[in-house]
Structure 1
Amino acid sequence: MRLRKKLILGTSALLVAGGLTAFTRDDRFFEIARNLDIYATMFKELNMYYVDEVNPNRMVKTSIDAMLKSLDPYTNFYAEDDIEDYMTMTTGRYNGIGAVIGDRQGRNIVMMLYEGTPAEKSGLQIGDEILKIDGVDIKTRQDADPGKLLRGQTGTAVKLTVKRYGQKTPVDLQVQRDVVKVTNVPYYGMLNDEVGYIDLKDFMAAAGREVKAAYQDLKSKGMKKLVLDVRENPGGLLDQAIDISNVFIPKGSEVVTTKGKVSEWNKSYSAMAPALDTEMPIVVLTNNHSASAAEIVSGVIQDYDRGVLIGQRTYGKGLVQTTRPLSFGTRMKITTAKYYIPSGRCIQAIDYSHRNADGSVGKIADSLRTAFKTRAGRVVYDGGGVTPDVQTEAQTPTPIAQSLTSKGHIFDYAVKYKSEHPTIKPAREFRLTDAEYQEFVKWVSDKEYDYTTQVEKDLGVLEASAKKEKYFDQIQDQLKALKSKMSHSKDADMKTFQAEIRTLLNEEIASHYYLQKGLKEASFATDPDIKAALDLFKDMNRYNGILKKK
């Protein structure tokens, strides 16, 4: 008996450390039953004897989340109270008013309004601070969740009391709730006379239909080349990735294959309908936040040499999740398979099955990535996201720009600007004048914000190393002089990094007038990836050369 116990414990250790499957079927069922019994008796003892009262729902949810965290970030449990949020994530629909509320230093601020929703129609404005919802003071009620209070049955009304910039007394607004549809394509339009642009931000239900509609509308406006933007797209539904890929590749072409532990679920998915266009030149914009379904579409375009990818390497999520119903109205989203794009590669970057001793996980080394080939014979690699054909540098904000944004000063100035200017030029044309920028510099001069530049950080590291290695006394005068010389000046940085700060202000202000569309259109003039796409489209010999075998 003791030997059997040692064998069981030893096998359990192997399972945790290496992910090996060593149990027989009967052993596995016995271990499951045994551990569930241990869990139930332990919980019973806690509930009976723990010094304070325990909340059973919270305790169990905490234990479930901890268990699933040991697997991967995508296997999640949804309690009954969270099902509405889960449905919103998959369908993009909810019953509410269509406002994005953010917590700013304890204040509930309207950060964005969805176009055409009850929130916009009611007169609610970006920058409004919500004080009360149906008479509930959400500032003093710590348990009040503004998001849940704003949701409700279609046709019901919610009364909002808001504090608005420039007005001394609060404003009361009556908003009729309705079905709010969060669109997958928040913007599409023409970049110039022949280049169309589609901003694809999600893969919720109807994403394929939205992309098709956007494509056909742009085609009717004279589009001859297309920029498809999947930057910052976290992915979503697999069937929508297939539908969107099908817009650009012929019927019958393989899109993706899934392989997992349950062999009956392994499946190959192909384009089911005639393509809308298999010839139009395409550029797909990616970055390291393009994940999952966004990577399937990007990978399909690359594997079939259907277009050129520009930007940064994608996130590397090659895992498929399936939703399973559980008891009492709960659900679990569980990773059931890996997916493989047409070249045969899986782009999963992180190996969750082999954790380090401290529980952390690491990315697959570039040296271990395997080469595959596109239809034209170009070499592509697995195991680390999709690498663009034309790589650009990720835009890293300067410390001053980052501080001004994180402290809310860019947003607050946009609120102030809109209150003082009833209208502005169209978003593509709007630019702060030099005088207006100087007004911002004056306005922010007495606001609290600070930052440490990378040079200052490096000097701090140098000083610490010098003290540790006993060289500080020899170089302290030089260090002091260098620190004094390199110490940042806010006034100087406001001039040095004026272009970046003005870009942030232009985009934020435009969004307060024209919402998401304004934010996007205001960015076109300074977006380096869009510039790279337009430059490539001007040189079609280069475009075609990229798609040929080297």
Structure 2
Amino acid sequence: MTFRTGLLLGCAFLAGIAAGPQIAHLSLPAGSSLTSNALAASLAKDSDSDSPAENFRLLSLFGHVLEQVKANYVDQVSNRELIINALNGMLSGLDPHSSYMTEKQYADLQTRTKGEFGGLGLEVQADDSHIRVVSPIDDTPAAKAGIKTGDYIVAIDGKNIDGLPLDEAVQRMRGKPDTKISLTLIREKTPKPLIVTMTRAVIHIQVIKSALYDSTGYIRVSEFNEETSPGLEAAYRKLKADAHGHLTGLVLDLRSDPGGLLNQAIAVSSDFIRNGEIVSTRARHAQESQRWDAHGTDITDGLPMVVLINGGSASASEIVAGALQDHQRAVLVGEKSFGKGSVQTILPIPGDGALRLTTARYYTPSGRSIQGLGIVPDVTVRETREDPGYSIREADLSHIIKNQGGNTAKPPTRVDLPPIVSSIPGEPPANWPAFDLTKPVTDFQLQQGLKIVRAMATGPHTADASPANLPRHD
């Protein structure tokens, strides 16, 4: 498949990226307007024909509605605003991940993939005229303020934003560094709205963190940008050096990783898989389909691995998890992933920003599509005992593309799981301490992952991660 900028995988806009496309005013030839009856007749045909006559009727319909709104709407409105709304409606009506970007929004997106941008550090997404948090990014104002995946933002600085377009809400959240902003949040099972005050900052995305727990390495990937694969490889080299060359296992943490660049997902997968397919994509036209294979190296030389996933693991992180699961290279621990199995291409429009358009579905090495289904871990372990009530995943969004073309919804049957898996509890015990991001001993999923990877290497190990040995920033 020929792409103009490269592939982008992700499930949301980032707070700090605005929208506002420009397009030339659409005018119709003199005498080409349709009467109301003719318009109704044209709509009633509901034709899928792409004939010139049908195209002319539909463009005439668009022009007629445009002029009626301009002439009769309660407030004066510009052509630009109306056509912006039309473009946004055109793309959002296709699927949740296609969108239009202005030149500035496109530039901000490019800056973000390089690892630095301004804002709060929030991944947000439109959800039925509401703004939902997909994920806070590690070590950002949003994460430090305790904003959680699934929170709904209903007001900014005390002003209601219900029904506000996503791009406008994002623009309001942006601002100069060191300025205050308050968000009003609705959270499941919380009786009253939460008001969170933060200070805007220039966000430096630290996509890789690592820690050494005894002889077990831990690497967290918060998203997939241009720094991810080289950062992961550097972190692994440092872990190996800190362990004096005696690492016995590795935990790769992809929880709440919303995705990013496809080439980085392929590169990370290839760091652990020696041979075979990593991922394939199938586009509208068969000749544009592609497949990527491993490059013949495993930086760990076959070290036992556990991968942590949850409902916030989406897109590029699902590609990595799916590849490692299908190759039985790692044991997946945690909760079912988000289920975004589509690929977006950035198509620049010179002088007018870019389109972010869904152009293909992707498939794991075994040929399955996880679109709307997600990846089910090999060992299901919940983060807390609390009933989540509901969780928003791809299948819950409007206008999602169909899951089709896959040969199975399940990964290959595993016969290599260590015996300890049968004794791993599915949720924390009643006396388990409340989860604290700064204290690994409170992270129930991590602790079970450590037990499993240690069992894979040397047998059961009971030592937990020490609070004094926190993940360091590499």
TM-score range, shorter chain: 0.5 to 0.7
User: 1:364–1:272: structure 2 CA closer, same or farther, 3 Å change rule?
Assistant: closer
One-letter identity of the residue aligned with 1:249? I
Matched, 1:34 2:57: yes
Q: Does 1:68 find its partner at 2:91? A: yes
Q: Return the offset for 1:50.
A: 2.8
For residues 248 and 255 of structure 1, do their structure 2 counterparts lie closer, same or farther at Cα, with a shift above 3 Å needed?
same
Is residue 450 of structure 2 the alignment partner of residue 534 of structure 1?
A: yes
Q: Tell me, what secondary structure is at the counterpart of 1:310? A: strand
Post-superposition shift, 1:246? Answer: 0.9
1:165 equivalent in structure 2? none
Pairs within 5 Å for 1:127-166 = 148-150=174-176
Identify the residue that residue 232 of structure 1 maps to in structure 2: 256
Matches within 5 A, 1:282-321: 282-321=305-344
How far does the alpha carbon of each residue in 1:271-313 deviate from its partner, in whole angstroms, 9 at most, with x for none? 2363312410000011122111111111111111111111112
**Percent identity between the aligned chains?**
29
Q: Which residue of 2 aligns with 1:188?
A: 210
CA distance in 2, matches of 1:68, 1:373: 33
1:230/1:290 contact within 8 Å kept: yes
* Distance in structure 1 (CA, Å) of the matches to 2:158 and 2:408: 57
Q: Secondary structure at the match of 1:329?
A: coil
- Matched with 1:370 is 408
Q: State the Cα distance separating 1:99 from its structure 2 match.
A: 6.3
2:197 aligns with: none
Give the whole-Å Cα distance in 1 for the aligned partners of 2:265 and 2:122. 29
One-letter amino acid of the counterpart of residue 249, structure 2: K
Q: How does 1:203-222 map to 2 (within 5 A)?
A: 203-222=224-243
Mapped partners of 2:338, 2:402: distance in 1: 11
Partners of 1:50 and 1:91 lie apart in 2 by 43
State the alpha-carbon separation in 2 of the partners of residues 35 and 395 from structure 1: 58
Q: Is the 1:257–1:339 contact (alpha carbons within 8 Å) kept by the matching residues of 2?
A: yes
Deviation at 1:378, TM superposition (A): 3.6
- For the pair 1:345 / 2:368, whether they are aligned, the reply is yes
Matches within 5 A, 1:401-416: none
Task: Find the counterpart in structure 1 of residue 359 from structure 2.
Answer: 336
Q: Does the CA-based 8 Å contact 1:254-1:268 persist in structure 2?
A: yes
TM superposition shift of 1:183: 2.2
Amino acid in structure 2 at the alignment position of 1:316: G
Question: Cα deviation per residue 1:232-270 (whole Å; 9 max; x = unaligned)?
Answer: 1111111000000011011x5221110010333211112
Residues 295-352 of structure 1: per-residue CA shift (max 9 Å, x gap): 111111111111111111212111111111235422111111111111111111269x
Q: Distance in 2 between matches of 1:275 and 1:217?
A: 16
More helix by share: 1
State how far apart, in whole Å, the 2-side matches of 1:390 and 1:313 are: 20
User: CA–CA distance in 1 between the matches of 2:459 and 2:281?
Assistant: 32
**d(CA) in 1 for partners of 2:302 and 2:62?**
60
Partner of 1:272: 295
Gap change, CA 1:310 and 1:323, over 3 Å in 2: same
CA distance in 1, matches of 2:91, 2:106: 18
Aligned positions of 1:233-248 closer than 5 A: 233-248=257-272
The aligned amino acid for 1:216 is: R
Provide closer, same or farther for how the CA distance between residues 181 and 280 of structure 1 changes in structure 2, counting only shifts above 3 A: same
| Structure 1 residue 260 corresponds to structure 2 residue 191 | no
The alignment partner of 1:531 has SS state of helix
Q: Partner of 1:34: helix, strand, or coil? A: helix
CA RMSD of aligned residues (A): 4.6
Shift in alpha-carbon separation, 1:291–1:543, aligned structure 2, 3 A: farther
Q: Does 1:503 align with 2:418?
A: no
Tell me the CA shift for residue 112 of structure 1: 9.5
Question: 1:389 offset after TM fit, Å?
Answer: 11
| 2:66 and 2:82 in contact (8 A); partners too | no
- Is the 8 Å Cα contact of residues 333 and 449 (structure 2) preserved in structure 1? yes
Q: Given the alignment, which residue of 75, 87, 104 partners 1:52?
A: 75
CA apart distance, 1:370: 2.9
For the residues of structure 2 that align with 1:326 and 1:248, how far apart are their CA atoms?
37
Task: Tell me if the contact between 1:225 and 1:280 (Cα under 8 Å) persists in the aligned partners.
Answer: yes
Deviations 1:420-439 (A, max 9, x none): xxxxxxxxxxxxxxxxxxxx
Cα distance in structure 2, aligned partners of 1:543 and 1:67: 56
**Residues 310 and 391 of structure 1 are in contact (CA less than 8 Å); yes or no, is this contact kept in structure 2?**
no
Q: For 1:41 and 1:232, locate their aligned partners in 2 and report how far apart those are by CA, in whole Å.
A: 46
SS at match of 2:358: strand
Aligned-partner Cα distance in 2 for 1:293–1:113:
17
Residues in 1 aligned to 2:334 and 2:303: alpha-carbon distance in whole angstroms: 20
Partner of 2:22: none
Q: 1:50 to 1:202 in 2, by over 3 A?
A: same
Measured in 1, the distance between the counterparts of 2:81 and 2:425 equals 45
CA contact (8 A) 1:93 1:182 kept: yes
Q: Is the 8 A contact 1:309 1:389 kept in 2?
A: no
Give the length in aligned residue pairs: 343
Q: Residue 199 of structure 1 aligns with which residue?
A: 220
- Say if 1:46 and 1:256 are closer, same or farther in 2 by CA, change over 3 A: same
The 3-state SS of whatever aligns with 1:87 is: helix
Deviation at 1:150, TM superposition (A): 1.8
Kindly provide the amino acid, as one letter, of the partner of residue 150 in structure 1: K
What letter corresponds to residue 533 of structure 1 in structure 2? G
Alpha-carbon separation, structure 1, partners of 2:445 and 2:205: 25
What per-residue deviation string (whole Å, max 9, x for no partner) do you get for residues 137-187 of structure 1? x97999996764426xxxxxxx8699xxxxxxxxxxxx9x98x531222x2
Alignment check: 8 A CA contact 1:308 1:390 kept: no
Q: What is the rounded CA distance, in whole Å, between the counterparts of 1:234 and 1:113 in structure 2? A: 12
8 Å Cα contact 1:189/1:198 also seen in 2:
yes
Q: What is the distance in 2 between the residues matched to 1:216 and 1:285?
A: 21
Q: Which has the higher contact order (CA 8 A, sep 6+)?
A: 2
Cα distance between partner residues in 1 of 2:367 and 2:423 = 22
- When normalised by structure 1's length, the TM-score is 0.53
**Bigger Rg, structure 1 or 2:** 1
Structure 1: 5+ residue stretches without partners: 16-22, 103-110, 120-125, 128-137, 152-158, 163-174, 380-387, 397-496, 508-518, 545-550
Asked if the contact 1:309/1:390 (under 8 Å) is kept, the reply is no
Q: Does the 8 A contact of 2:271 with 2:299 survive in 1?
A: yes
Whole-Å separation in 1 of the counterparts to 2:277 and 2:268:
13
Aligned with 1:279: secondary structure? coil
Residue type of the alignment partner of 2:408: T
Residues 188 and 349 (structure 1 numbering): CA distance in 2 closer, same or farther, change over 3 Å? Answer: same
Q: Decide whether the 8 Å contact of 2:343 with 2:361 is kept in 1.
A: yes
Gaps of 5+ in 2: 1-36, 124-135, 146-155, 161-167, 182-199, 375-394, 416-420, 461-474
Partners of 1:99 and 1:113 within 8 A in 2: no
Q: Distance in 2 between matches of 1:113 and 1:301?
A: 24
